[in-house]
Amino acid sequence: MDSLQIKALIIDDEPIACRRIRRMLRDDQQIEIVGESSDGQTALQMIQKHSPDLLFLDVQMPEMDGFEVLKALGTDRIPNVIFVTAYDIYALRAFEFYALDYLLKPFDRERFERAVSHAKEKILKDRKGSANAGLLSLLEELRGQTSYQDRLMIRREGRVVFLKTRDIDWIEAEGKYVYLHLGKESVLLREGITKMESALDPARFIRIHRSTIVNVDRVQELHPWFRRDYRVILRDGTQLMMTGNYRQNLQRAFGKPL
């Protein structure tokens, strides 16, 4: 593998993350960093210009996220990808995109070097004619589609736990994070409620309050409250408040006016 030469592009809107990746690659004679980008549109231009072998791709960026960057690429030349993210919710999506690997911020040198080593092996195989056709097929399938989460990956007490989104009863905002309520259990997730709302299927999960998302399959009753507000009663007896600003979401979900 000594003769392997790799052109890499760093796409991340956090300057600290870019510097960290550069520093960890400083002594790697096989990888040449051909550029950096802090947003998706510029990243697409740089990919077209440099034809990199490897992307260090941040998931969450302004205007166009990492997944949208991949969807926008032409499928005739797909680089290998190491996703870089601070959000556990996205790690599983990286694998669903047939990603090469992912780094969960803050990552250490050992984890970084393991991901890079894996990347080198994959790139060497690709150059011998064994490119990942599955990634090409998947990107074609996803083009023009919206992908919603059906599973979440949660880090708990040193373990990684996978949750099916259909098992969530309701979601509650807690500052910059959210609590996922599943029966008598509540799980803290390092994700804001607005990002959670966009990641979940709106046919199943609807926002009923600025701090609340509910699984419509769990809704049993609606009780008129003050003005345009409603009390939402779940099957287990949980009572939630739906404010008038979000009333149309519930109407759309059930196809009937309130």
CATH number at residue 172: 2.40.50.1020
88 and 202 together in one domain: no
112 and 190 together in one domain: no
pLDDT on residue 130: 45
Among the candidates 87, 107, 142, a domain finishes at 142
85 and 171 together in one domain: no
- For the chain, how many structural domains are there in total? 2
CB within 8 A of 187, min separation 6: which ones? 154, 156, 163, 179, 180
183 and 248 together in one domain: yes
Give a yes or no: residue 150 inside a domain: no
Give a yes or no: residue 174 inside a domain: yes
Q: What CATH number should be reported for the domain holding residue 99?
A: 3.40.50.2300
Among the candidates 85, 112, 142, a domain finishes at 142
Query: What whole-number distance in Å separates Cα of residue 17 and Cα of residue 61?
Result: 13
pLDDT on residue 97: 57
Among the candidates 88, 111, 142, a domain finishes at 142
Give a yes or no: residue 149 inside a domain: no
Pairing of strands 151-156, 159-164: antiparallel
162 and 118 together in one domain: no
13 and 138 together in one domain: yes
Q: Give residue 71's domain range.
A: 6-142
Cβ proximity of 82 and 103 under 8 Å: yes
Per-residue pLDDT of the chain (258 residues; tens, 9 = 90+): 456 799 999 999 889 999 999 999 999 999 999 999 998 889 988 998 998 999 999 887 777 778 778 877 765 667 888 988 876 665 666 565 555 678 888 889 999 999 999 889 888 877 654 445 555 555 555 554 556 777 887 877 777 778 889 999 999 999 989 999 999 899 998 888 988 888 888 888 999 999 999 999 999 999 988 878 899 999 999 999 999 888 888 777 776 666
